[in-house]
Structure 1
Amino acid sequence: MSQKFLASLSSALLLALSASAAHAHFQLVYTPEVNLDKPKNIPVKLIFWHPMENGHAMDMEQPEQFFYVFKGEKVDLSKALKPISFAGKDNRAKAFEAEVNIRRNGDYLFVLQPAPYYEKSEDTYIQQITKSYVNKGGIPSGWEKPVGLPVEIVPLNKPTNVLVGSTFSGQVLMEGKPAAGVEIEIEYLAAPPDVKANRPSSKKSASAKGGALVAITDANGVFTFGIPKEGFWGFAALGAGPQKEYKGKALSQDAVIWIRADKME
């Protein structure tokens, strides 16, 4: 293992540890269905939440960007956004929703760049640049391609049909280059949102002994996680983005990706 990699790993771990107290915050870009077999208008919910513990929700401000990429074409969705109130476990928080028309076969890469969130308890900001995926017709058309974000996780497995018991791998890119030694926090969506009521669909929560589930990227920016349960899984590359400061305070600019895991029929 090279000294350069070890130095990168050490510095990334220090940055992640400084931001970790403010995490378990996970930005959602949620669609109930990720595999469509016919044209459909689908609801998309943008929620900043603690989804694994089905806990506290955080206020979102107007997003900086919200769009999808389809076969290399970027489609702006910002004008389709409507503000909503999402009911977390013990509070209500500002969130957003949109209805998106899916017609053509292929992969739709949804991308949200939210406004930085101020975490008062840590006196820092968090910005989780988030990707999620919808496919129509079972036709692959670019799910494995980077979008060109300041920081992002590029899936190395098709993110809309990962099988329970298999693994998911992703590569963290910072300004297009592999990011080594990045802490990846792993989250499970215990109670998917009720898209009509704008609240969790149940009181279910999940936890793991020993605290947060964590992986570390290797020298090529790659991490791998075994998928133990069906449902939605989120992965956040903590502090991996190039921007480290916002309004004179520390900023953890994170990359988030959501995937869907299913049992083999």
Structure 2
Amino acid sequence: MRNMIFAAALATLIPISGQAHFLLPYAAETQIAKPGDVTLAVVFWHPFENGHVMDMQAPEAFYMIHNGEKTDLIDRLEAAVFKGAQNEGAAFRATLPVKRSGDYVLVTQPAPYYETSEDKYIQQLTKVVFNRNQLPTDWADPVGLPTEIVPLVKPYNVVVGSTFTGQVLREGQPAAGIEIEVEYVAATPDLGSFAATPPTAKPLPGGSLVVVSDMNGYFSFGIPKAGWWGFAALGSGPVTEHEGKELSQDAVFWINAFDLE
């Protein structure tokens, strides 16, 4: 049965026009070598093409889950200005406290962002998983967001050339027929200067990459290049309006891929 689900999830890649908005909680590494505070940049941005930086308000929630225990990290956010190739925008510096071995699922629930060009709000409920000492603990568990992507592949050491599979959930149930934008972090944030580095790859001429979840909410994507890859399930959340305007409540999940050496 699972093999049948996976086969159905291998959706056709659909290039669509427009630039992808992605909330990116970024650290230099997802596998943490020693205990301590991991430095983060939290940026709402277009990291593939080093495009426009959107101004972020203070997130509604910012926390981690480790060994099933939730820890509020909102006090670890510090307002900062992130510089992209096109503009500067309000963003945040942050730290992730890593002590014991295991997974650290970092969750960012931003305030809705008003996109003037589309006359609607966007809210990206975002997860990224860090790990210490190669001990898996929490990466495959839902965290209870209104919408989220649950990985079926350990997300912090995906092998280039392999396939990443996830499941889109809405209020804990599979969400079928959801378009998932795929983003590559070609321009990584420099955590010292808090600015974007030059991109190492060019976006495809056909626009954003999109896969579609199957009837059970599953989707798959073959990873062609090492680095950070993001998946945004567009409008997968149950909330569709904010302050009288349309709201796209998206589930976002990030993975880190490595070449097999």
How does the TM-score come out when normalised to structure 2?
0.92
Q: Find 1:144's aligned residue among 134, 140, 152.
A: 140
Pairs within 5 Å for 1:37-56: 37-56=33-52
Q: Deviations over 1:34-91 (max 9, x none)?
A: 1123213211111000011111100000100000000110100001110000001111
Within 1, Cα distance between the matches of 2:18 and 2:59? 20
Q: Separation in 1 of the partners of 2:34 and 2:95?
A: 16
Contact 1:37 1:138 in 2 (8 A): no
1:100 Cα deviation (Å)? Answer: 2.2
Is structure 2 residue 85 aligned with structure 1 residue 89?
yes
Q: Distance in 2 between matches of 1:53 and 1:99?
A: 26
2:212 matches 1:216? yes
Aligned to 1:231: 227
1:188–1:206 Cα contact (<8 Å) kept? no
Q: Does 1:249 align with 2:219?
A: no
The 5-angstrom pairing of residues 152-167 of structure 1 reads: 152-167=148-163
Q: What is the aligned residue count?
A: 246
Q: CA deviation at 1:203?
A: 4.4
Question: Where does residue 11 of structure 1 map in the other structure?
Answer: none
| Corresponding residue SS for 1:57 | coil
1:81-136 per-residue CA deviation (whole Å, 9 max, x = no partner) reads: 10000001111100011122211000000000000000011110000110011000
SS at the partner of 1:147?
Answer: coil
Aligned sequence identity (%): 54
Name whichever of 156-165 and 28-37 sits farther off: 28-37
Alignment partner for residue 124 of structure 2, among 107, 125, 128? 128
Flag the 1:259–1:235 CA change in 2: closer, same or farther, 3 A.
same
2:110 is the alignment partner of 1:117: no
String of CA shifts for 1:6-34, please: whole Å, max 9, x gaps. Answer: xxxxxxxxxxxxxx877501110111111
Q: For residues 142 and 156 of structure 1, do their structure 2 counterparts lie closer, same or farther at Cα, with a shift above 3 Å needed?
A: same
CA contact (8 A) 1:127 1:251 kept: yes
Could you tell me which residue of structure 2 aligns to residue 178 of structure 1? 174
Instruction: Tell me the equivalent position of 2:260.
Output: 264
C-alpha distance in structure 1 between counterparts of 2:51 and 2:31, whole Å? 28
Structure 2 residue corresponding to 1:77, chosen from 73, 76, 92: 73
Distance 2:123 2:36 in 1: 31
Deviation, structure 1 residue 228: 0.2
The structural deviation recorded for 1:154 is 0.4
Secondary structure, counterpart of 1:236 in structure 2: strand
Q: Which amino acid aligns with 2:174?
A: P
Letter in 2 for 1:236: A
- Does the C-alpha gap of structure 1 residues 185 and 211 become closer, same or farther in structure 2, counting only changes over 3 Å? same
SS in 1 for 2:75: helix
**What stretches of structure 1 of length at least 5 have no aligned partner?**
1-19
Q: Is residue 56–residue 91 contact of structure 1 (8 Å, CA) maintained in 2? A: yes
Equivalent residue for 2:98?
102
